[in-house]
Structure 1
Amino acid sequence: MASSSSKGSSDKNPKKANLNDQNSMKHLLDETVTEVVTSKGYAEDFTLSNTRLFIGVIIIAIALAAQFYPKKFPENRDFLIACIALYVLFNILLQFFMYTKEKNAFLFTHPLTGSYNSTGLMISSKLPRFSDEYTLTIASSDPKSIAANKPVKLSKSVTKWFTKDGILVEGLFWNDVSKLIDDYADDRKNH
C-alpha cells in the first residue's frame, strides 16, 4: 500500500523544470537518477562529500580567524599573511580534490548489500550548454579495482523525457536509467 500511495503522490506533484534553464533540467534529472539508484538497493556513500565539506569548514575557520583576530592591522600583519597563505593552500587542495576524485560525479554508492563485489557505483552526468543531449555515465567508484566493470553510458535528448510544459515523464526516464543500471550489473556478471 505504501508504494501505491507514494506513486499517487508523485502523480499529484509532477516534477517540473524550467526548460529554458539547463541547470534546472540537469538538477532534476540527477535527483531522479539518485532516486532510481537508491530504489535498486544501492546505499549512497557520503565519504567524498563529507571530506569536501570538512575542507570547506577549515577554509571558513581560517577566514573567520583572519577577520576576528583581536589585534588591529599593523600588529597582526604576520598572522594575516599566514591566514591568506593557508586560505589559498586549502582552496587549491579543495579544487584538486574535486578535480581528481569527484570529476563530474554527483553520486557515489556503497556496493550492493550481500554482493560479492567490493566497489560501489560512481554516477556522473553532462548536459552541455546550448545542447539538449543529456549523458549519464555509470562506472565503478574504484576504477582501479579488479572488480571494476567498464563504464556504461546513456545519451539522449532531454526532449524525450520532458513535456513541452517542462514536466518530467518519470516512467520513461526511470525505465532508461534502470536499464542502464541493469546493463552495468550484467557486465559485472559476465566478468
Structure 2
Amino acid sequence: MEPIKIDKWDCSALKNTLDDCCRNILIDKYKYAECHKLMDIRLAICTAAVACAAFALVYDYLYAFPASKLVLITCSSTYFILMGVLTLYTNMVEKGIFLVAKQVDSSGNEPAKKITVSSCLKRFDENYQLCFEYNTGKKGAKTKEKTITKSVANWFDEDGQLLYDSFKHDVVQLHDSIVNKKDL
C-alpha cells in the first residue's frame, strides 16, 4: 500500500483519512458489501434542492422577474426547507456513520450480518472515536456495540504520515472483539 501523508493539523483530513482506511480494511479483509442507502437518501435530498434551484433559474430566464415572482418565492422557500431537512438528516440519522456494510451468506441459509461504523473527531481534539455496531441479522438478536477512543498521534507520525499497520491492528482488534469467529 502506498504511504498516506496529510496535514496533521487539519482535523477534517485526519478524520476522513482514518474513516477511509477503516472502510478499506473492513471491505478488503472481511469481504463486506457496502450498503449505500444512507448516502443515497442524502444525495436524493440534495438533488431535489438543486433541481428546484435550477428550475427557478430557467423559469426566471424564460419569463423575466415580475412574471416569475411567485415561482422564485416558491423555489427559494423549497430550497431553504430542503437544506433544513438535509441538516436534520445528517445530524439525527447519519450521526457520523461512514460505513454500513453487510455480509451475506453465500448459501442463502443465514440472514445477512450487518456492521455499522461511525466515528467522531471533535474540532481541536486529538481523540478519535471509532464505534462499531454489529448485528447477526437473526431474529431477536441484539446489536453489539463497541467503541475505541485513541489519540490520532497513535496512528500518525510527526510528518503526518499514516502508520497504517498500527491503525489496521486496532481496527481488526476492535472488529474481532465484537464479531464472533463463527459469524465470519
TM-score, normalization by structure 1 = 0.83
Taking the aligned partners of 2:71 and 2:182, their CA distance within structure 1 comes to: 54
Partner of 1:108: 100
Asked if the contact 2:135–2:144 (Cα under 8 Å) also holds between the matched residues in 1, the reply is: no
Taking the aligned partners of 2:92 and 2:111, their CA distance within structure 1 comes to: 23
Q: Does 1:158 align with 2:148?
A: no
| Equivalent of 1:81 in 62, 67, 73 | 73
Q: 1:164 to 1:80 in 2, by over 3 A?
A: same
Asked if the contact 2:104–2:111 (Cα under 8 Å) also holds between the matched residues in 1, the reply is: no
Asked if the contact 2:134–2:179 (Cα under 8 Å) also holds between the matched residues in 1, the reply is: no
Moved over 4 A (4+): none
Matches within 5 A, 1:1-191: 10=1, 13-39=2-28, 40-69=30-59, 70-110=62-102, 112-114=103-105, 116-140=110-134, 146-186=140-180
**Which segment drifts farther, 30-39 or 112-121?**
112-121
More strand by share: 2
Aligned residues: CA RMSD = 2.4
Task: Give 1:188 deviation, angstroms.
Answer: 9.6
Structure 1: state its 5+ residue gaps: 1-9
Taking the aligned partners of 1:188 and 1:74, their CA distance within structure 2 comes to: 69
SS at structure 2 position matched to 1:54? helix
Q: Work out the percentage of aligned pairs sharing the same amino acid.
A: 29
Task: Give 1:103 deviation, angstroms.
Answer: 1.0
**Which segment drifts farther, 27-36 or 148-157?**
148-157
Give the counterpart letter for 1:160 in structure 2: N
Taking the aligned partners of 1:101 and 1:187, their CA distance within structure 2 comes to: 30
Asked if the contact 2:104–2:112 (Cα under 8 Å) also holds between the matched residues in 1, the reply is: no
Structure 2: state its 5+ residue gaps: none
Taking the aligned partners of 1:14 and 1:36, their CA distance within structure 2 comes to: 15
TM-score, normalization by structure 2 = 0.86
SS at structure 1 position matched to 2:49? helix
